[in-house]
Structures are given as structure tokens and as C-alpha cells.
């Protein structure tokens, strides 16, 4: 048990140490490639920071533990959404949702709520599989792709616009972020190296989490949602706080949004790895609770982006902390 805990602590330390350099690198890549902070956060940061959770969920599913696989993904989504409220506490200049308001950022929590609602429908509907995979797993990938396409479209050609204020930060390249002599090729190589490090921590966390489930007697759902869900969410926490520190606000929001989107796709990958039927057919009451919690938290983010309170954490931020604490309390009570 202590060896498993030590492995998870080492993985957490690696994620914490690498978070700062990784955030600065992606911020520069966003400017050099023209992606912009939001799309770089969703595609680049979201994909890499989601790797530990992806590998952990797939390992659990491959071992036949569907509850661990699903709760690791869904617990990460809930926790990472709360990181937006936490980052808001640290950003003292203005309300984070006010400063980083944009159509892609507003579309994201709505799109994620649709993905999570689709998971609920899969669990409640007939458990039909093709080659052992539920059709909804393929649908989730399509919905995610469509969401990314739509986000890019509304960002480039919005049908309505956010009213700018003195605290609104526009998602535009910052010339000051360019480092003399740094080639785009070297930036991508650094990106790939850091991504490999993050993926390695995911494998270590998954193995340690499954071992803790066996050694402590704790429910695999609780371990997945609370323990491994927290460790695999550390990249998002470090990245979002560091992005706020360097005032890359759209990157911060995009990181959480992108990470959450990839976390839903963990279920598609886990369904492929799970060989005992449909993954969604193994949904427990705890899984349903976490899906519902994720929907509520993301709609609160959308409400905050629409309301655009200029200063302070706002009612939405306080409500996010309260709902998350209540949801995890209920989950722990289920055992």
C-alpha cells in the first residue's frame, strides 16, 4: 500500500514540476501558430493534460473494473471544472469569466453538458454493442469533433459579440512572448517530450490506483473519483493557475474545457478496452451522480460567462465549490 502511495506521490510531483514550463511553452505556441489561447488550451493543453486520466481509465477498464474507469474520468471532470472557480480566486484583477469572455469559451461548457447528457442516455438505454463497443462511444467522438469545429467557426465568424470592457482580455497573439532564436520545430519537440512525461505519470497513477483499491478495501469508484481523479487532474490545476499568473486567461479556460472534453472521450476508449459488454451498462448510482454533477458545474460556468460579473468570484463560483463538496460527500456516503 505504501509503495502504491509513493508511486502516486512521485507522479503528482512530476506533474507539478512540469506544469509551469509546459504552460509557458503552449502560450508561445498559441502565438506562433495563430491558434489563439482558447483553441491552444482546448487542443494542445487539454489533450496532454488529459493523458494521465486517459491511461488510468483504460487500465481500469482493461482489468474489468468499469466503475473505476468511469469514476476516474467523471471525477476528473467535476474537479477540473471547480478549478475555474479556484483560478478566479487567484485572479484579483477582475472576475475570470468576465475577463475571458468569448463565444468559444461560452460554447464549451454547453457542448460538454451535451456530451455528459449523452452518457446518461447511454446508461439508461438498451445496451447494444457492435464488436463489444456501444454505438454511443463512437457518437461521443463525433460530437467532440463537431464541438471543436463549431468552436473554431464561432471564434472566426461570430454572429454576436461580447461587449468589451476595460477588464476584458482579447485572445490575440502577444509579441512579447516570442523568444529570440527559438524555432517552431524545437518548440514542438519540447512539447512532445513533456507530453511523454505526462503520459508516463498516467500509467504509474493507474497501476497505483488499482493496487490501492485491492489493498485498502476502498470502493474502486471512490478511489477513481477522489484519489486517482485528483492526481490525474493535477496537470490542469497547475496549468490553469500558472496561466492565470502570466495572464493567459483564454489559455486557462481552454485548458479546463479541453481537458474535460477529452475526459468524456475516456469513456469511449474505456468502452473499447472493457471486454465484458457495454461499459455504460455497468453504470452505478455513483457514476450517475458524477455525470449529473459535471452537468451542473459546467452549466454554472456557462451562467457565469453569460452574467459576466465584473469583480469578485461571483455567485456561480461559490455555487461550484458548494455543489462539488456536496456531490463528493454523497459519493463517499455511498461507499
What CATH number did the domain enclosing 146 receive?
Answer: 1.20.1420.30
What is the pLDDT averaged over residues 293-320?
82
The answer to whether the CB of 127 falls within 8 A of the CB of 277 is yes
pLDDT value of position 210: 61
In a domain, 205, yes or no: yes
| In-domain check, residue 174 | no
Residue 191 lies in a domain: no
The pTM of this model reads 0.74
Report the number of secondary-structure helices (H) and strands (E) in the chain.
14, 0
Contacting residues for 301 by C-beta, under 8 A, at least 6 apart: 81, 84, 97, 109, 316, 320
- Domain count for the chain: 1
Instruction: Return the C-alpha cell found at 276.
Output: 465484458
Return the H-helix or E-strand segment holding 26. Answer: helix 2-33
Q: In the structure, what pLDDT confidence band is assigned to residue 36 with cuts at 50, 70 and 90?
A: low
Residue 130 lies in a domain: yes
Which residues have C-beta within 8 Å of that of residue 247, sequence separation ≥ 6?
A: 169
163 part of a folded domain = no
| Residue 141 resides in a domain | yes
Cell of 106: 461560452
> Rounded to the nearest 5°, which phi and psi values hold at 130?
-120, 115
Question: What's the confidence (pLDDT) of residue 303?
Answer: 85
The percentage of the chain sitting over the pLDDT mark of 90, rounded to a whole number, equals 12
Which of 92-101, 149-158, 209-218 tops mean pLDDT? 149-158
- Asked which of 74-83, 283-292, 322-331 is least confident by mean pLDDT, the reply is 74-83
Q: Which three cell numbers stand for residue 191?
A: 512539447
* C-alpha cell recorded at residue 75: 471525477
Q: Output the nine-digit C-alpha cell for 69.
A: 474507469
Distance CA 253, CA 39 (A): 10
Sign of CA dihedral 212, 216, 217, 223: negative
* pLDDT > 80? residue 116: yes
CB 98 within 8 A of CB 316: no
Q: Which of 147-161, 183-197, 245-259 comes out lowest in average pLDDT?
A: 245-259
Please state, in angstroms and rounded to a whole number, the distance separating the CA atoms of residues 86 and 244: 11
| Domain span at 117 | 2-158+198-334
- Tell me which long-range contacts 62-65 makes (C-beta under 8 A, separation of at least 24): 62/273, 62/274, 62/275, 63/210, 64/274, 64/275, 64/276, 65/210, 65/213, 65/220
Amino acid at each position: 500500500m505504501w509503495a502504491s502511495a509513493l508511486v502516486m506521490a512521485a507522479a503528482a510531483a512530476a506533474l507539478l514540476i512540469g506544469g509551469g514550463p509546459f504552460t509557458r511553452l503552449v502560450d508561445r505556441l498559441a502565438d506562433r501558430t495563430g491558434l489563439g489561447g482558447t483553441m491552444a488550451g482546448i487542443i494542445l493543453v487539454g489533450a496532454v493534460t488529459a493523458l494521465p486520466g486517459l491511461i488510468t481509465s483504460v487500465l481500469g477498464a482493461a482489468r474489468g473494473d468499469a466503475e473505476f474507469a468511469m469514476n476516474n474520468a467523471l471525477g476528473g471532470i467535476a474537479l477540473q471544472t471547480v478549478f475555474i472557480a479556484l483560478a478566479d480566486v487567484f485572479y484579483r484583477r477582475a472576475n475570470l469569466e468576465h475577463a475571458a469572455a468569448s463565444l468559444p469559451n461560452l460554447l464549451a461548457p454547453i457542448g460538454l453538458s451535451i456530451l455528459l447528457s449523452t452518457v446518461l442516455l447511454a446508461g439508461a438505454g438498451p445496451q447494444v454493442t457492435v464488436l463489444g463497443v456501444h454505438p454511443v462511444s463512437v457518437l461521443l467522438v463525433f460530437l467532440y469533433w463537431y464541438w471543436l469545429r463549431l468552436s473554431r467557426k464561432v471564434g472566426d465568424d461570430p454572429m454576436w459579440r461580447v461587449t468589451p470592457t476595460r477588464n476584458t482580455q482579447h485572445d490575440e497573439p502577444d509579441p512579447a512572448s516570442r523568444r529570440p532564436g527559438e524555432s517552431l520545430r524545437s518548440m514542438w519537440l519540447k512539447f512532445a517530450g513533456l507530453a511523454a512525461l505526462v503520459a508516463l505519470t498516467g500509467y504509474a497513477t493507474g497501476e497505483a490506483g488499482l493496487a490501492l483499491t485491492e489493498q485498502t478495501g476502498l470502493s474502486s469508484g471512490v478511489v477513481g473519483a477522489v484519489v486517482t481523479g485528483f492526481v490525474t487532474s493535477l496537470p490542469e490545476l497547475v496549468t490553469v493557475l500558472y496561466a492565470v499568473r502570466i495572464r493567459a486567461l483564454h489559455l486557462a479556460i481552454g485548458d479546463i474545457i479541453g481537458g474535460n472534453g477529452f475526459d468524456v472521450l475516456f469513456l469511449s476508449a474505456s468502452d473499447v478496452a472493457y471486454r465484458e459488454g457495454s461499459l455504460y451498462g455497468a453504470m452505478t448510482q455513483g457514476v450517475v451522480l458524477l455525470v449529473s454533477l459535471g452537468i451542473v458545474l459546467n452549466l454554472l460556468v456557462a451562467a457565469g460567462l453569460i452574467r459576466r460579473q465584473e469583480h469578485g468570484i461571483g455567485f456561480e463560483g461559490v455555487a461550484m465549490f458548494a455543489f462539488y463538496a456536496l456531490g463528493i460527500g454523497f459519493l463517499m456516503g455511498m461507499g
